[in-house]
Amino acid sequence: MMLRFTFRALAATSLLALTAPALADTLVDNVDGVTIDGDGDVLRFTGIVFDDDGKVTQVFERGDERPQVDYRLDGEGRVMIPGMIDAHVHVGQIGFAAMTLDLSDTNSLDEALQKIAQFSTDNPGRPWILGRGWNQEKWGLGRFPTAAELDKVVSDRPVLLRRADGHAAWTNSLAMEQAGVTAGAKAPAGGRIIRDEAGNLTGIFVDSAIGLVGQSVPDPRPSDYDRALALAQEQLIANGITAVGDMAMSVHEWHAYRRAADLGQLRIRVMAYADSPELMELIGGTGPTPWLYDDRLRLNGIKLYVDGALGSRGAALKEPYADEPGTSGLALTMPAQLRNLMSRAAMSNFQTAVHAIGDAANADVLSAIEELSETYTGDRRWRIEHAQIVDPADIPRLGQHGIIASVQPLHQTSDRTMAEARLGPDRLDGAYPWRSVVAAGGRLAFGSDAPVEPADPFAGFAAAISRTDADGQPFGGWFPQETVSREQALAGFTSDAAFAGFAEGRFGRLIPGERADFLLVDRDPLLSSPDDIRQTKVIEVWVGGVKVLGE
Ligand SMILES: [Zn+2]
């Protein structure tokens, strides 16, 4: 920043230098380029020029004459596409997951103990060793592991390791000691403490009893948030993602963004949605923040929740669950409260992104949007996050009021058998209804919900156009009438994901005036099979005309 400022100050005083506006223009030529253009159509091109500010100034088709520029890069005929945009991720959680010991690939207790010891050696600064993914069934152990076994590899720091299903924790003696959990401890309601025959603690805590030890895990420090952000950025960029919608961002995560960006270390672009109205107003005050740091960071609004998830039967359904007729899920936010919160945001022009999974939840958000649209007119871009199960009768409502359905194609492929069980065979017509939303005049933005699903836009792209998983299952696709076209998938992961965050005109397309955020990849997603698209290799990643990944 300082250097560039100095250069400009000098240039302004030098009469000769002033006549060379193309001084830092860069031409990337000889590429097989594809982008969504300003009209929403697919544009094929063979070269682009971007300027000193990292903005595209010209796009060339085959045969167009190239200008004289100072820098010319040869794309060697490779495929160039806009940087992928993941409309719904949790950046901090991606980073913290990367900082946690993952035992899901261990096949025996010994192997796990070795991995724990190694992680402890590799991470001397961590006050606690935290991990996940162990499974004594997979190990063939026939019993739970014990604190004593853990003590043999780490005794000088507390350790807490969650089981693969998250429903149990394995701790060492120091963790129990620091938490003040002694032999006489009682399990809270909904929890269990596993003891040996003599009644001693074994280090295993089940469900709500995990909190007895878990409450002593220290909150992450600012430096932990910084490290998490750095790791998350690394992972996102490696997968070809140059911009994200960060959902339910905390105040600590916002501060980490600001610290990173102040140091020039915010490499991706972030459209942020606060986790509470208080935080939204604390950061934005009377409205969304301006775009900060050359279009790298903006607080757009707030993330709200209407219901839970299908897996835990927390999604709010119009009729009872097929596999548990006693329940139809539960609303996390009551109708009046939802409208109050949405109104509080809309009044100050904040954008709302509302999590709704079940058909009752989606119907309620749609009604709320319809009511609020009478007061809050104009370009609001009401977002519904997930929109997984929608009553076919409600789908036309998704085409009204400029609603954006922010959906995650990989949820469909991961959850389809579970969705079949939860809903039964007769209520799947509006399940993950992508093509229907487009047909109704609605707009899709695609994302991953990482770390819930991998932040892999090419896997998401393949799922969007095929409704099959990585093994090609089910053959022919699950409700294949809801697949989208390749062009629609490209838009969903680029231009439409940008639009969903009020970022059109800034990034998402390779057209004059937008940022030069692009990838060089080894195949063309518009010409490849779903299987091939999943195997896409990201060769180079550029953000704002700067290479952030590649040789
Ligand atoms: Zn999410």
Compute the distance between CA of residue 298 and CA of residue 269 in angstroms, rounded to an integer.
9
Find the 422 Cα to ligand 1 centroid distance in Å. Answer: 20
Average pLDDT over residues 292-299: 98
Look over the chain and give the mean of its residue pLDDT values, rounded to a whole number. Answer: 94
Q: Which residues are CB-contacts of 342 (< 8 A; sequence separation ≥ 6)? A: 304, 352, 354, 368, 369, 372
Cα 90 to middle of ligand 1, angstroms: 6
Given the DSSP bridges, would you call strands 269-274 and 518-521 parallel, antiparallel or unpaired? unpaired
- 334 Cα: distance to centroid of ligand 1 (angstroms): 20
Question: Residue 24 — pLDDT band, cuts 50, 70, 90?
Answer: confident
Report the pLDDT value the prediction gives residue 452, as an integer from 0 to 100: 87
> Where do the DSSP E strands lie in 41-148?
42-50, 56-60, 71-74, 79-82, 84-89, 101-102, 129-134
CA dihedral 358, 364, 365, 370 (to 10 degrees): 150
Read off the pLDDT of residues 77-134 as tens digits, 9 standing for 90 and up. Answer: 999 999 999 999 999 999 999 999 999 999 999 999 999 999 999 999 889 999 999 9
Give all strands of the β-sheet with 241-249 in edge-to-edge order: 84-89, 241-249, 269-274, 297-305, 351-356, 383-386, 404-407, 443-446
Please determine, for residue 312, whether its predicted confidence score (pLDDT) is greater than 90.
no
Helix 91-98, helix 222-238: angle, nearest 10: 100
Could you tell me what percent of the chain has a pLDDT over 90?
91
Cα 307 to ligand 1 centre (Å): 12
**d(CA 345, ligand 1 centre) in Å:** 20
For residue 16, what pLDDT band results from cuts at 50, 70 and 90? very low
Q: Which pLDDT does position 23 carry in this prediction?
A: 57
- Which one is predicted more confidently, 365 or 452? 365
* Residue the block writes with tokens 């949007």: 369
**Ligand 1 mean position to 536 CA, how many Å?**
25
Max CA separation in the chain (angstroms):
89
Per residue in 365-410, pLDDT (tens digit) is 999 999 999 999 999 999 999 999 999 999 999 999 999 999 999 9
Q: How far does the centroid of ligand 1 lie from the alpha carbon of residue 277, in Å?
A: 17
Question: Which whole-number Å values give the CA distances from 211 to 126, 205, 402, 474, 521, in the listed order?
Answer: 20, 9, 43, 40, 46
Which range has the worst mean pLDDT, 218-222, 310-314, 380-384? 310-314
Ligand 1 centroid–CA 112 distance in Å is 30
How far is the centre of ligand 1, averaged over its atoms, from the C-alpha of 441 (Å)? 25
**What average pLDDT does this structure show over 152-169?**
93
Mention every residue, 6+ apart, whose C-beta is less than 8 A from residue 297: 257, 258, 261, 266, 269, 270, 272, 289, 291
Q: Is the pLDDT of residue 4 over 60?
A: no
452: CA distance to ligand 1 center in Å? 7
Centroid of ligand 1 to alpha carbon of 315 (angstroms): 14
Calculate how far, in angstroms, residue 247's C-alpha sits from the geometric centre of ligand 1.
Answer: 6
